[in-house]
Amino acid sequence: MIESVKRFRTPGELKIAAKENLDGKWLTAIAVSIVAWLLVEAFTSSNGGNAAIKYVMENGKFIRVDTDGSAFKNMMSIVSLIIGGPIYFGIAYYFLKLARYETAEFNDLFSGFSLFKTNFILHLLITIFTILWTLLLIVPGIIAAIKYSMAYNILIDNPEIGGLEAIRRSTEMMDGHKMRFAEMWFSFLGWFLLSIVTFGLGMIYAAPYYRAAKANFYLDLKESCSV
């Protein structure tokens, strides 16, 4: 049972809590993170798709044709846009249950489809707003992403509200706490860099670790405000 939070935990304390939440549950947490990544991110990056080089016969000669799998990437981007909201809701739901010491199961990853319309709209709005802020400068885009970072958690606790309201409440909740969130994120920077060096393998550990810490960050905020 979670006790009332009297002060905001430091990044180190959030990471300790995350490890406690994940104790004995690492395999499922890793599976949830990997499946979520495969469904909404793996095939939509700039390196995604089935890049290939083809040779076609033209006028009796073989001509090299470079293909970058753009059609495949475009299709997967549409799929990601459609199912991204429910999947992001589901992964937030799984790790929030862990943070609350509730029974979390792999199937929680797909719980967001019961609120498909709301989650789709939320994902679409977050994507549009973040892109618009990023068009101004990179930093405003990052700040926007941080402001909206609690939206899915808020929706989990308030399933009756809409996507725009979840964004508004997240923005309000994060007011005065964006730097704290950035500090927590930077505390994982070493793991993120290791993931790059290991061609993504480090994220197998880092992704659930970070998401569990983020869930605890939300619980701290929820205890301190009425959002």
What is the residue-wise DSSP string for the chain? Answer: -PPPPSSPPPHHHHHHHHHHHHTTTHHHHHHHHHHHHHHHTTTTSTT-S--EEEEEEETTEEEEEEE--HHHHHHHHHHHHHHHHHHHHHHHHHHHHHHTT----GGGGGGGGGGHHHHHHHHHHHHHHHHHHHHH-HHHHHHHHHHTTTHHHHHHH-TTS-HHHHHHHHHHHHTTTHHHHHHHHHTTHHHHHHHHHTTTTTHHHHHHHHHHHHHHHHHHHHHH---
Which pLDDT does position 127 carry in this prediction? 94
Cβ–Cβ under 8 Å, residues 154 and 227: yes
32 vs 161: CA distance, rounded Å: 26
Q: In the chain, what are the domain boundaries?
A: 11-224
Per-residue pLDDT of the chain (227 residues; tens, 9 = 90+): 344 445 799 999 999 999 999 999 999 999 999 999 999 987 665 444 444 444 444 444 444 444 455 676 677 778 888 999 999 999 999 999 999 999 999 999 999 999 999 999 999 999 999 999 998 888 889 999 999 999 999 999 999 999 999 999 999 999 999 999 999 999 999 999 998 899 889 999 999 999 999 999 999 999 877 56
pTM: 0.84
N-term to C-term CA, the chain: 21
Among 84, 89, 80, residue whose Cα is nearest residue 112: 89
Cβ–Cβ under 8 Å, residues 94 and 32: yes
Which pLDDT does position 158 carry in this prediction? 96
Which pLDDT does position 43 carry in this prediction? 67
Which residue in this structure is represented by tokens 């959030």?
14
Which pLDDT does position 79 carry in this prediction? 81
Which pLDDT does position 73 carry in this prediction? 67
Which pLDDT does position 199 carry in this prediction? 85
Which residue in this structure is represented by tokens 């939070």?
5
Which pLDDT does position 226 carry in this prediction? 59
Which pLDDT does position 222 carry in this prediction? 92
Which pLDDT does position 3 carry in this prediction? 42
